Amino acid sequence: MRAIGSERSELWESNAVWKKMGAEVWYRFDMYVDNSIKPDTDRFVIGQWKEHGSPKDSPIIAQRFTGRTFTVSIEQNNNKAKRGDRDDLCRVYIASQNPKSDPPWGHSSTDAVLTALKAKNEPEAPLSFSHPLITSPQPDAPKSIANLRCDDGLEVHTDRQLPNPFGGWTTMVYHIRMSPDQRGLIEIWANGHRIAEATGRIGFTGSKPGAQQYFKFGSYRNPANFNTITKLSNFVRGDSRAGVDPTSKLTTD
């Protein structure tokens, strides 16, 4: 029987330096992820951006390694009129380690990554998953939404796949403005190459005035019987690109 709960080993930004929701922030860091994560590993997050006191408990932006595949996801409210009562979140995958032509990019019903994410033991998992092309609801989602995309007010442009992060160091850069009112923005670079950009509704409606956002890095997973080593180095946060890319080495495409 699988243990209930989750395991965490995370570094958090100090609340003294948290930014207000909607602030424009740049992050750059080197991360190391060892080879322990397996193809059948379920929920595994290493690095996430959250809203303090959020109306939803899920991270708005997350680096996910479920099924030994590196992906970046955005979450927003599921506003579809015919959704089920529990189907109130929409997780949109905007970048993947796999090329577009292979799973899990399209999130087919046979995709191992999606199958793991849909497991009953992931209590915060949304029922619907979106990619700019395809949405795959969970098996217990109403059939009426089976062919509907759950993402709303979001435009995604993907330039290339994420690199293989396992067993080595990867340099990540994020340009973030988390906002659920169509002003949201996320740009992603990995090892100096532009990966993806998403604009529009990034976050959850119902935030309190003055709500703050923060970043945390480290392993967050369902209970598992193996150890994972993650490392964070050269962490920089700035208010502009120049603050994290002083030598202008990031590609624009």
3-state secondary structure of 68: helix
Q: Do the domain assignments include residue 202?
A: yes
Q: Do the domain assignments include residue 78?
A: yes
**Sequential pLDDT tens for the chain (253 residues):** 234 457 888 999 999 999 999 999 999 999 999 999 999 888 899 999 999 987 777 899 999 998 898 999 888 877 776 666 666 778 888 888 876 534 333 333 333 334 444 443 444 443 454 544 333 433 333 333 344 457 778 888 888 899 999 999 999 999 999 988 888 999 999 999 999 999 998 988 877 788 899 999 999 998 888 999 999 999 999 999 999 987 778 877 6
Q: Do the domain assignments include residue 70?
A: yes
Q: Do the domain assignments include residue 98?
A: yes
Q: Do the domain assignments include residue 125?
A: yes
pLDDT digits (tens, 9 = 90+) for 220-231: 998 888 999 999
What's the number of domains the chain is made of?
1
Q: Do the domain assignments include residue 195?
A: yes
Q: Do the domain assignments include residue 102?
A: yes
Please give the residue range of the domain that contains residue 137. 20-244
Q: How many CB atoms lie within 10 A of CB 171?
A: 18
Question: How far apart are the C-alpha atoms of 207 and 84, rounded to whole Å?
Answer: 23
Q: Do the domain assignments include residue 53?
A: yes
| DSSP symbol at 161 | P
Question: What pLDDT, on a 0 to 100 scale, did the predictor assign at position 70?
Answer: 93
3-state secondary structure of 47: strand
pLDDT digits (tens, 9 = 90+) for 93-152: 888 887 653 433 333 333 333 444 444 344 444 345 454 433 343 333 333 334 445 777
- The CATH number for 139's domain is 2.60.120
pTM of the model: 0.81
Can you tell me which residue has the tokens 């109306």? 55
Consecutive H or E run containing 244: helix 241-244
Q: Which residues contact 37 (CB under 8 A, 6 or more apart)?
A: 44, 65, 68, 166, 228
